[in-house]
Structure formats: C-alpha cells, structure tokens
Amino acid sequence: MDIQGKRVLVVGLGKSGVACALFLESRGARVTVSDAKSEEQLRNEIPALLDRGIVVETGKHGERTFRDQDMIVVSPGVPWEVSPLKNARKLGVPVIGEIELAAQFLAGKIVAITGSNGKTTTTTLAGEIIAAGGSMTLVGGNIGTPAITFVDQSSSATWVVLEISSFQLESIQTFRPRISVVLNVTPDHLDRHGNMENYIAAKARIFENQASDDFAVLNADNDPAAAMAKGIRPQVYWFSRLHEVERGAFVRKGHIVFRDGKGEREIMAVADITLKGAHNVENVLAGVTIGMLAGVDPPKIATAVRDFRAVEHRLEFVTTINGAQYYNDSKATNVDATIKALESFPDRIHLILGGKDKGSDYSVLRELLRERVKRVYTIGAAAAKIEEQIGDAAPVTSCSTLENAVRKAAHFAQPGDVVLLAPACASFDQFNSYEHRGQVFKQVVQELAARAAQPQGGAD
C-alpha cells in the first residue's frame, strides 16, 4: 500500500485510532483525524497528534472532511454503517479498519483469535506457548496493543498473535491469518450487529482470505463455531473438552491429547492447568492446538501452560477479606462470560451485575443464580432491565455504582463466600473500559482489606 503524500482520514481516537494516525504520518501520509467526542474529552490524545502536524477534528464528523480523502481508516469502536462512512463509500473513497491497515504492512505469520469469550486469555496463552518454542512473538490486537504498532518490529520469522473482535473483522479486505481461531460464538454485541446472524457472519470473515495451506481452529463443542467449518478453505483442526476429535486437541481420562495425521501425543494432565473453570480448559485446548500447528514441542507447550496465570480482569483473584474471596472478572462483558464465571464456583457467590446493556437476555442466568448465588448487586444503566429479567432467582440489592456494590457485598459476605464482579455488560456507562472498571473494583476491595486489617480499638 502506497500512502506517501496521500490524504488519509482516521475516524475515532481510541487507542488504535491514535496508533494508526501516528503510523500513517510516519509513512508520509497527510493525516486528518475525526472524532465526535469533544476536545475536552480528547485532551490526552490531541497533543501528540498536533505535534506531528496531524489535523484534528473534534465534536462532529464533517461531511467535507470525509469526502476530501484518498482513504479512510476506521477505529473498531466506530460503527461501520454510520452515514458519513456510507456516503464516503458511495463516492468511491476506500474505507478500511486498523487491522486491515496493519495487514498491509505486517511481516511474519499471523495467529488471529476471535470468539465471544476467552479471547484475551487464549491470545495471551498462545503468545507464551509460541514464545516458549523459541520464536519471536508479538501479542496484541483487541487485547490492548494495536497491531499497527508491530509493523516495525515484525519480520518473516515473527509470529504475530492477535485478539480480533467482530468489530475489527467487519472492515477487513485482505487480512489473512496463518492460523485462525474461533473459540465460541454466543450472543454479544447485538446492539451493534442487530441479530445473531449478522454477528456470526462477522466472526466468520476471519477465514475468508485463508488458503488451503492455512489452518482454522474451531470449538467442536460450540454449535455456531463448529458450523463455520463448512465450505472454508483452510485445514480445519478442532478442540473439544467433551469428546475425542479426528484432528486437534481433546481430553481423554484427565489428560490433554493432540491428534493429527502423524498420530497422537499426550501433552499434559488437565489437573496441571492453574486457571479456574471448565471454560479455561477449552482455552488451553485451543492454545495447545495453536502451539502444535506453530511447531512447538509438546513438553514446551506443557511448561508454558503450567506456568500461565490468569490474565488481569479475567477471573483474577484479588484478596480475601474476613474469610470471603474477591474475584475480578470485569472482562465478563456478556451473559455467556458471566455464566462461565458462575460455573467456576460451586455456590455462595455474591454477584455484581450491570453496566451498559448490549441487547442481552439476562433471564438465562436464573437457574445458575438459584443454584449458586446468595445475592445479586446491580449497577449501571442496565440495572432495571437485569432486575426485571432475573426476577426472584436471587435476592437483589440495587447499588447504582460499583463502589457501593462492593461495600454492600462486603457487608453481607460471610467466611467461605465469594464476591464476584462478572457484570455481563459493557463498561461504557460509568467507565472508560472494562480495564478501568476492574481497576476500580480492585482499588475498592484493597481499601476494604486495609481497613479490615487495622487493629480494632477497645477496652483492655
């Protein structure tokens, strides 16, 4: 892609948008950025752009701004169908996303991991497995580090392991992973995609540029993911926690086994996985399959898995206060992720739910709430909808804010209980991101822990 001297508009000043703007300017493009947020809201991002001579438009998306460009690069958080972008495409202006831009410049082999849940854990684990095999490995994408920032670090020998969202896949054109992975597909982002069919179609785009010498890794236990194998060009490998597969990774008598055309290899015992929850066994199975396809020796895969610890904000143990354990699963931004979190604990759970609704059905939580949850604490914009849909499945305390919910949970929690933030919602009603939400949760918990540890005064 020749961008020298080209007029390029970057839409959206999130982390990837800023990275794209700086990259394009460094390659000689004449860059403009546009974001509907106010100048005050973007005060932290703007100075670095202005220092590089990048034109900044805030508070609106001007029609002329979109029209007078040779190319437009869209950040994942900007809906693909907003009118300025639709109009630009009608005028013949090329419109791509950050992942597509990165794909035009990245060297090396790409592992692209998508799914409704487990992406961050599996992406991080896969990066550590491949690195354990001795290869230069870069890990990023939707996980936090934009792929475009890896261009200058990548070479033909590099493995670039990327977490990829449905939003990013909407705008690809030539993006071609060496190994594509779909961990699972459950209802999520329906507020943006409109329905499950559109959401599944966006996920399935991960395969569209792969060839017959590439690989697709699919969850045999998840029907929507398994159905994607039909008609795709890459070689399909499976992973399954529930039954043996013809080609891929599975569990047999408490051990993870990998099978391909060369035979079977026992990789490790399931008991050696340090992560909590059956869903994390699936994430490990996916990671093992990726590692084997990337040529990593089985003993090195096993060592990387044994040494792996939970990703921040993903069923992350925080501390114990007065005998109750506190877990941060702020990354549980949809209902299915919350189900998986609840299934990781047998009972006695104090569950914090709520945030920005994504068109979810919270009624499917009822059975687990009855079985395992002592009390629900609702927060944020979705609180009323959640309370209506879960009904009397568990006692509910309306808390409005996360800080209030943590304090209320600490009041009710008894020794042996679990206080769990697994909100089933996006964070953007009260927080900048799920990371911000998780950090606030941990901060409040640690403040309560410090207070509980202080010696209590009294008479001798």
Assess whether 332 and 433 both reside in one domain. Answer: yes
pLDDT digits (tens, 9 = 90+) for 89-117: 898 999 999 999 999 999 999 999 999 88
Among 26, 61, 93, the domain-final residue is 93
d(C-alpha 388, C-alpha 105), whole Å: 49
> Is 458 a member of any domain?
no
> Is 422 a member of any domain?
yes
Q: Of the listed 119, 350, 358, 408, which one is catalytic?
A: 119
Among 31, 66, 93, the domain-final residue is 93
Average pLDDT over residues 313-332: 93
pLDDT at residue number 194? 66
Average pLDDT over residues 307-333: 91
Q: Of the listed 15, 61, 189, 193, which one is catalytic?
A: 189
Which structural domain, as residue segments, surrounds residue 64? 7-93
pLDDT at residue number 223? 93
- CATH code for position 382: 3.90.190.20
Domain count, the chain: 3
Task: Tell me if residue 119 is catalytic.
Answer: yes
Among 279, 307, 335, the domain-final residue is 307
Assess whether 258 and 134 both reside in one domain. Answer: yes
Q: Of the listed 142, 184, 219, 280, which one is catalytic?
A: 142
How many alpha carbons fall within 13 Å on the CB side of residue 318? 28
> Is 443 a member of any domain?
yes
Cross-strand bridge partners of residue 74 = 11, 97
CA 343 to chain centre: 20
pLDDT at residue number 438? 96
Query: HEC states along the chain?
Result: CCCCCCEEEEECCCHHHHHHHHHHHHCCCEEEEEECCCCCCCCCCHHHHHHCCCEEEECCCCHHHHHCCCEEEECCCCCCCCHHHHHHHHCCCCEEEHHHHHHHHCCCEEEEEECCCCHHHHHHHHHHHHHHCCCCEEEEECCCCCHHHHHHHCCCCCEEEEECCHHHHCCCCCCCCCEEEECCCCCCCHHHHCCHHHHHHHHHHHHCCCCCCCEEEEECCCHHHHHCCCCCCCEEEEEECCCCCCCEEEEECCEEEEEECCEEEEEEEHHHCCCCCHHHHHHHHHHHHHHHHCCCCHHHHHHHHHHCCCCCCCCEEEEEECCEEEEECCCCCCHHHHHHHHCCCCCCEEEEEECECCCCCHHHHHHHHHHHEEEEEEECCCHHHHHHHHCCCCCEEEEECHHHHHHHHHHHCCCCCEEEECCCCECCCCCCCHHHHHHHHHHHHHHHHHHHHCCCCCCC
- CATH code for position 252: 3.40.1190.10
- CATH code for position 79: 3.40.50.720
Residues 6+ apart with CB under 8 A from 133: 291, 294, 295, 296, 297, 300, 301
Assess whether 76 and 123 both reside in one domain. Answer: no
Residue 457 in this model has a pLDDT that exceeds 70: no
Assess whether 268 and 286 both reside in one domain. Answer: yes
pTM value is: 0.79
Of residues 1 and 66, more confidence is placed in 66
